[in-house]
Structure 1
Amino acid sequence: MRMSASSPPTICRASTTNGSLSSKERIMILNINPLSQADFYKTGHIFQYPEGTTEVYSNFTPRSDRLAPVLRDRFDSKVVWFGLQGFIKMFLIEIWNENFFKQPKDVAIGRYKRRLDCALGPGAVDVSHIEALHDLGYLPIEIKSLPEGSRVDIRVPTMTIRNTSDARFFWVTNYLETVISDELWKPSTVATIAYEYRRLLEDFAERTGAPKAFVDWQGHDFSARGMSGFMDSMSAGAGHLLSFYGTDTIAAIDYLEDRYNANAEREIVGGSVPATEHSVMCLGGKESEIGTFRRLITEIYPSGVVSIVSDTWDFWKVITEYARELRPQILARTPNAIGLAKVVFRPDSGDPVRIIGGYNCVEIDRMSDLSSAIEQGAEAIQVNGKYFILDGAGEEPLLREAREAEVKGAVECLWDIFSGTETDKGYRVLNERVGLIYGDSITLQRAEAILNALERKGFASCNVVFGIGSYTYQYITRDSFGWAIKATSGVVNGERIAVQKDPVTDGGAKKSACGLLRIEQEGNRFVLYDNQTEEQERQGELRTVFVDGKLVVDEDLATIRARLGAVV
C-alpha cells in the first residue's frame, strides 16, 4: 500500500534465497497423501470405464458468469487464468514425488489401502493399479494450458489433461479432477476479480486525472485472515498480486517466489506499510487516544508512511479534532529513503460509502424548504447551523440529526484541515502528508459507489486506498465462474470417441465441449474449436506445460503480469 503515486520500488536486500524451507522439508511437514486428494467415488472409476479404455481426455473450463460478483455494466465475460504452475510445482511434482513415488512401496500402498479399507470396507478396492503407478515412478499425464495471465472468454477451456502413452494409466486423468478443481478455481477467480478492481480504479483515475501509477497500490489485499487456511490465502493472495502491488498477505509473496520465479530483491512482488490494530489503540486508553496518535506519528514512525486504525471509539473526533491538533506534526513529517511521509487514517466500521464520501448536502433556510432540497437530490440538509441526514424519502422523509463531519465524509473533513492540490482535470487531491484506507466489507459495487461519491464532490479517485478483504475474496465459490473439469474425448479399443455432457434438465450452462479441443486467439478473444483431429489438436494456443512428471514451461511473475497488462 504505497500511498504515493510516483514512489520508486522498495527493493529488499536480504541475503537469503527464495523461501525459508527446502521443498522437501516443506512437503514432509505437510505430509499430504496425494492419493487422498480425491473424492471417494474416484477410487472405483478405473473399474467402471468400458473394457478396452486406453485414454481419457478432459478440460478445465469456466462455464458461466451468472453468479460472478462483478460489475455487470463493466464486465466483458473474461476470466484471468492463473495458478496452474504453482499447483504443478507444489502438488503434481513435490507432493507426489516426496509423499508417494519416493516413499517405500509398501508404505505408500499400505497408507492408501488402509484409508480405503477403513472407509469402504476391507478389500473393497483393488489397489494393483496404484502399485503399478508407484512402479512407474511418475505421473503419466500431459497438461496443456493457455498462458497464465491470459484473459480467457467464458466457456473456453483454460487447460486440457490426458494420460500419456502408457495405456494402463487412463484412469489418472480424471482421478486428478477433484484436486485440480479445488486448487485452481480460486486463484483464477481472485485474479479475475482483482483485475476487475484494477479496471474500475483505472477508469476513475482517467476520469478524475489521478495518476495511473497510484492504482498499482490502490487495491490492497486484506483477505488472509478470512480465507480457508494458509494455503488458500497464499495462492489467492498471489492472484491479487497480478493486478496490484499492495498486500498484507506476506505468504503470497513467498508463494510467488517459490512457484513463479519472482524475486523481491530485484522487483516489486508486493509491499505494505507499518499499521496499527485495535489492540494497540485500546491499550493506549480512550482518554489518551490522541497521545497514542501523537506517539505513533512523532516517535515510532516519524518518517515514511504509517496507517492508523481510527474508529476504535469516535472516528469523527479523530478525523476532525485530532487531525487538526496534530496538523503541524503531520505536515512536518520527514520523507523516508524513497520520499514518502504520510499519515493514513483507517476507518473500519460503518457504511464505507458514507464514511469516505459523505452525503450530498443542500443548505436550506427553513424546514418548509425540505421538499425543494429533495428535488435537488439532497441526501442531507443543513438548516440553521444544524445537519440532518435523510433516512427516508416520500411525503414525510425521516430526518436524523448528524454531525457536520458525518455529512461531509472523511475525505472532505481532511481537505478542510490539510487542503491539497488539483489534478489537470480539476479534481481535488489531499495534501500528500495525509491519506485514507478503508478495508471493511469492500466489494466492487461499494468501491464504485465510493468513487462516484468522491467524483460528485470534486475529489479525485486517488484520495482513498481500498483494503480488499475476505468480503470480496471469500464471498466467491467455484460456481462464481462455473469452473468444472469434464471429459470430452477418450479411446476405447483403439477407437477415438467424442464425449459430450448435455443434460436435458439444464439450461445449457453444463453443456460441455465435444471431442479433442483446439483454442485459437482471434483478435482479443480466445475461441474454442471442438471435434478436432489429432493434428488439429496439436495446433493453437494450448501448449504443453507438464508431461510425465516434469514441468516443461516455467514462467516468471513478470512475464505473467506483462501478459495481463495490469501493473506497470
Structure 2
Amino acid sequence: MFTNNFNNFILNTDSYKTSHWLQYPPNTEYVSSYIEARGGNNSFENVLFFGLQAYIKEYLSKPITQSDIDEAKTIFSAHGVPFNEAGWQRLIDKHQGYLPLRIQAVPEGMVIPTGQVLCQVVNTDPEFFWLTSYIETSLLRAIWYPSTVASLSYYCKQLIKAGLEKSADNLDSLPFKLHDFGARGVSSYESSALGGLAHLVNFLGTDTLSAIVAGNRWYGMSEEMSAFSIPAAEHSTMTAWGREYEADAYANMLSQFGEAGKTFAVVSDSYDLWKAIDNIWGGELKEQVKNTGGTLVIRPDSGDPIKVVREALQRLAAKFGTTLNTKGYKILPSYIRLIQGDGINPTSIQKILDAVTSAGFSTENITFGMGGGLLQQINRDTLGWAMKTSSARVDGYWRDVYKDPITSVSKRSKRGRLALVHHQGSYMTVREDELAEQNNILQDVFLNGELLIDDDLTTIRERTKH
C-alpha cells in the first residue's frame, strides 16, 4: 500500500536505475562518476557552480528508513522493475541508513570553463558500488538547474558591467541592475527557490520570495537580508482606475510611495506609453515627480524592447532634462529611472545597452527585469550537463570506464578518477593519479552522511568576483 511519501529518496531516481545493481561486472567494488557542463550551443564559455549544498542538506542529511524500503518495494513491484531490497536493508543495518558516498566538488560560486570536471562521486563501502549511479538522477538535476541559472545570471552581469564601465562613472548600481521576476514562470515552488537563489549569487534584486527562504534554509545568511525589492504597480492596479483616470492612478502611486530616499516602480504602458511619459509623468504630474524626494521607475511592458527603451529615455530627457557624467553620457535626474522587464534575455540586454549608449545615454538610467528567460527558458542542454562513470574497481584493480561513440565526438566521456587543477591562468581536468604536486581544486563536500563544507551565501558571492 502506498504511503504517498513524496520524500522517499529511494524513489528519487529513474525507473531503469533500479535494475542496474544486477548489471555491473562480478566483484565490482567501487564506481566513480563525475559531473561536467560539456558546453552547449550558446555563447556561455563558463559555468558558475552552485546548488550542491542545498541538495545535500535537503536530501542526503536524512537516513533511509524501513518505511522507505517497504514503500519502494511495493511501488517497484507494481511498476514492473527489480528492487534491490537486500541492498537497501543492508544500508540501514550497516550504515544506519546514511549513504556511504564521498562527494567532491569545486567550491560553490567558482566560475569554471565548460568541459571541466565540477563534481565527483564514489562509494566508500564496496558493498554499495551500485549507489554511485543510483543517485545520478537527483544529483545531476540538483546541480544543472541552479548552476545554469547562476551561469546565465553571471553572463548577463558581465554584459551590464561592461555597459556601466563604458558609460557610467562607477559600478555602484550593478548589484541591482538585473531583477528577478521569474517566480510565476517556473514549473514549481522548489524551482523558483533554487533558481531564484542562484540568481542572488550575482545580484541583490528579486521579487522571488522563495529564494530568500531558500537562502536562509540552505546557505545560512551572514547578512540580515539577502535580497531586496520595492513597491511596484501591475496593470490590474493601474487599469482598475479606468482609462480616463490614468493620471489619478499614477498620482496615487506618488502619494503612497513617493518618500525621500525610497524607490518605486509604475508600469506605464497600459494604454499609451508615450502619452503617459509626455502628458502625465512629464506634464500633469511633473512637479510631484520632481518633489517626491525618492525615485520613480517607469516600466514599459510591451513593444520592441530596443526601440521602446531608447525612445522612452529620449522622451524622458526632453521632459526632465539630463546632465553629463565624466564620460560624456547623459543621465536623467536621480528622481526618475527606467526598468525594462519585457522580452529580456542576454541577446536583448546587449542590444538595449548598445542602443542606449549609441543614443548618448548612460547605462545608469536603466535597470532590467527578467522572468521566464532567467528561471525557465533553460534546460540540461543549455550547458550540456552530464554525469558519467569514469572509473571502477573490479577484483581489486581500477579500470577506466568511458564512452566514445563514433557518431558523436561531443559525447566522448572522460576516463579515470579525476581532479581539477589551475593551468595557465585557467583550469584543466587531469587524472587524479597524475596530480603529482598540483593542488586538486575538487574538495570533499560530503562523506558517509556528513556535510563537510557549509558555506553561506556571502562567501559564495565573493568567489564569483575572483
Alpha-carbon distance, 1:471 to partner = 2.2
1:345 matches 2:245: no
Report the AA paired with residue 501 of structure 1: K
Alpha-carbon distance, 1:263 to partner = 4.0
Report the AA paired with residue 59 of structure 1: Y
Instruction: Report the 3-state secondary structure (helix = DSSP H, G, I; strand = E; otherwise coil) of the residue aligned with 1:479.
Output: coil
| 1:299-355: CA deviation from partner (whole Å, max 9, x where unpaired) | 354441111111111111111111121111011113xxxxxx111111111111111
- Note if contact 1:210-1:460 (Cα within 8 Å) is conserved in structure 2: no
- Note if contact 1:211-1:462 (Cα within 8 Å) is conserved in structure 2: no
Q: What residue number does 2:209 align with?
A: 250
Q: 1:30 to 1:109 in 2, by over 3 A?
A: closer
1:478 matches 2:380: yes
Report the AA paired with residue 453 of structure 2: V
Alpha-carbon distance, 1:472 to partner = 3.6
Q: Any gaps of 5 or more consecutive residues in structure 2?
A: none
Q: 1:30 to 1:281 in 2, by over 3 A?
A: farther
**Displaced runs of 4+ in structure 1, greater than 2 A?**
28-31, 299-303, 532-539
- Note if contact 1:516-1:537 (Cα within 8 Å) is conserved in structure 2: no
Q: Any gaps of 5 or more consecutive residues in structure 1?
A: 1-27, 335-340, 358-408
In structure 2, C-alpha distance between the alignment counterparts of 1:290 and 1:460, rounded to whole Å: 29
1:59 matches 2:27: no
Alpha-carbon distance, 1:558 to partner = 1.3
1:515 matches 2:416: yes
Matched ranges for 1:231-380 at <5 A: 231-265=190-224, 269-303=226-260, 304-323=262-281, 324-334=283-293, 341-357=294-310
Q: What residue number does 1:390 align with?
A: none
Q: What residue number does 1:9 align with?
A: none
Count of residues in Structure 1 that have an aligned counterpart in Structure 2 = 460
Alpha-carbon distance, 1:249 to partner = 0.8
- Note if contact 2:109-2:463 (Cα within 8 Å) is conserved in structure 1: yes
In structure 1, C-alpha distance between the alignment counterparts of 2:464 and 2:165, rounded to whole Å: 19
Among 555, 560, 563, which residue is 2:455 paired with? Answer: 555
Q: What residue number does 1:191 align with?
A: 150
In structure 2, C-alpha distance between the alignment counterparts of 1:524 and 1:410, rounded to whole Å: 43
Q: What residue number does 2:164 align with?
A: 205
TM-score, normalised to structure 1, is 0.78
Q: What residue number does 2:51 align with?
A: 83
Instruction: Report the 3-state secondary structure (helix = DSSP H, G, I; strand = E; otherwise coil) of the residue aligned with 2:368.
Output: strand
Q: What residue number does 2:394 align with?
A: 492
Percent identity between the two aligned chains: 34
- Note if contact 2:21-2:84 (Cα within 8 Å) is conserved in structure 1: no
Alpha-carbon distance, 1:473 to partner = 3.0
Instruction: Report the 3-state secondary structure (helix = DSSP H, G, I; strand = E; otherwise coil) of the residue aligned with 2:243.
Output: coil
Instruction: Report the 3-state secondary structure (helix = DSSP H, G, I; strand = E; otherwise coil) of the residue aligned with 1:458.
Output: coil
Q: What residue number does 1:131 align with?
A: 89
In structure 1, C-alpha distance between the alignment counterparts of 2:143 and 2:380, rounded to whole Å: 9
Q: 1:108 to 1:472 in 2, by over 3 A?
A: closer
**Max Rg structure:** 1
Q: 1:159 to 1:411 in 2, by over 3 A?
A: same
Matched ranges for 1:31-180 at <5 A: 31-65=6-40, 67-68=41-42, 70=43, 75=44, 77-93=45-61, 96-97=62-63, 100-101=64-65, 105=66, 107-120=67-80, 124-135=82-93, 136-137=95-96, 138-164=98-124, 166-180=125-139
In structure 2, C-alpha distance between the alignment counterparts of 1:30 and 1:108, rounded to whole Å: 8
Among 422, 439, 452, which residue is 2:324 paired with? Answer: 422
Alpha-carbon distance, 1:420 to partner = 2.7
Q: What residue number does 1:396 align with?
A: none
Report the AA paired with residue 41 of structure 1: Y
Alpha-carbon distance, 1:474 to partner = 1.5
In structure 2, C-alpha distance between the alignment counterparts of 1:504 and 1:238, rounded to whole Å: 40
| 1:199-222: CA deviation from partner (whole Å, max 9, x where unpaired) | 111111111124301111011111
Instruction: Report the 3-state secondary structure (helix = DSSP H, G, I; strand = E; otherwise coil) of the residue aligned with 1:270.
Output: coil
> Is 195-204 or 298-307 further displaced after alignment?
298-307
Q: What residue number does 1:541 align with?
A: 441
In structure 1, C-alpha distance between the alignment counterparts of 2:439 and 2:89, rounded to whole Å: 35
In structure 2, C-alpha distance between the alignment counterparts of 1:149 and 1:192, rounded to whole Å: 10
| 1:129-172: CA deviation from partner (whole Å, max 9, x where unpaired) | 111122222110000111111111111010100001x2111111
| 1:236-279: CA deviation from partner (whole Å, max 9, x where unpaired) | 111111111111111111111211121442xx511110011111
In structure 2, C-alpha distance between the alignment counterparts of 1:534 and 1:525, rounded to whole Å: 18
| 1:487-516: CA deviation from partner (whole Å, max 9, x where unpaired) | 00011111111111111110x211111011
Q: 1:117 to 1:30 in 2, by over 3 A?
A: closer
In structure 2, C-alpha distance between the alignment counterparts of 1:264 and 1:472, rounded to whole Å: 25
Alpha-carbon distance, 1:189 to partner = 0.7
Instruction: Report the 3-state secondary structure (helix = DSSP H, G, I; strand = E; otherwise coil) of the residue aligned with 1:116.
Output: helix
| 1:519-544: CA deviation from partner (whole Å, max 9, x where unpaired) | 111243111112x4298699511110
- Note if contact 1:516-1:534 (Cα within 8 Å) is conserved in structure 2: no
Q: What residue number does 2:182 align with?
A: 223
Q: CA RMSD, aligned part only?
A: 1.9
| 1:35-92: CA deviation from partner (whole Å, max 9, x where unpaired) | 1111101001001111101110000001123x23x4xxxx5x2111111111111121
Report the AA paired with residue 410 of structure 2: A
Q: 1:538 to 1:109 in 2, by over 3 A?
A: farther
In structure 2, C-alpha distance between the alignment counterparts of 1:91 and 1:521, rounded to whole Å: 32
Report the AA paired with residue 328 of structure 2: G
